[in-house]
């Protein structure tokens, strides 16, 4: 039987932006899992779905958007960049999309994280959602 397992993010009626997104997984017949994002809030959000950085430490995997930096007169500046290469998807409430990333068998803690600063600069959802 095919089904998605939601991660419950909020017990409160007023959700923060991070709590407006749920991370799901669905294992295929080979034991790998595709990750899905669902807008569980009440307004449109834009999420990033491709070319994200996937880092692994022991059994934890974090998926996040990278920043581009430049040094100008000794000061480090984070650059605003085109997010087209990250395949942004606008989700209406209740809509689901997938991340172009497969999880290996027995993946431990998995999180999808977009920093508040990145989200504000680029007009995307920001926060962290975890799949346990």
Q: Is residue 96 part of a domain?
A: yes
Question: What pLDDT, in 10s, does the model give residues 65-93?
Answer: 887 889 999 999 888 889 999 999 999 99
Question: What pLDDT, in 10s, does the model give residues 16-68?
Answer: 455 799 998 877 777 677 899 999 999 999 999 999 988 887 767 888 888 78
**Whole-number Å distance between alpha carbons of 96 and 100:** 13
Whole domain around residue 25: which residue ranges? 18-125
Q: Is residue 93 part of a domain?
A: yes
Q: Is residue 102 part of a domain?
A: yes
What local confidence, expressed as pLDDT, does residue 72 receive?
A: 92
Total domain count for the chain?
1
Q: Which residue has the higher pLDDT, 131 or 58?
A: 131
Whether the full predicted model's pTM is greater than 0.85, yes or no, is no
Long-range contacts of 10-18 (CB under 8 A, 24+ apart): 10/40, 15/40, 15/41, 15/42, 16/127, 17/41, 17/45, 17/119, 17/125, 17/126, 17/127, 18/126, 18/127, 18/128, 18/129
Q: Is residue 132 part of a domain?
A: no
């Amino acid at each position: 039987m095919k089904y998605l397992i939601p991660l419950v993010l909020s017990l409160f009626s007023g959700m923060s932006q991070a709590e407006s997104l749920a991370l799901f997984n669905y294992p295929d017949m080979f034991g790998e899992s595709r990750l899905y994002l669902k807008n569980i809030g009440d307004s449109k959000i834009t999420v990033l779905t491709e070319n994200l950085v996937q880092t692994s430490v022991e059994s934890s995997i974090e998926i996040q958007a990278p920043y581009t930096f430049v040094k100008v007169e000794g000061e480090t500046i984070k650059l605003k960049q085109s997010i087209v290469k990250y395949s942004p998807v606008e989700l209406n409430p209740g809509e689901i999309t997938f991340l172009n990333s497969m999880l290996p068998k027995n993946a431990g803690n998995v999180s999808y994280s977009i920093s508040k600063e990145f989200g504000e600069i680029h007009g995307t959802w920001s926060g962290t959602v975890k799949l346990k």
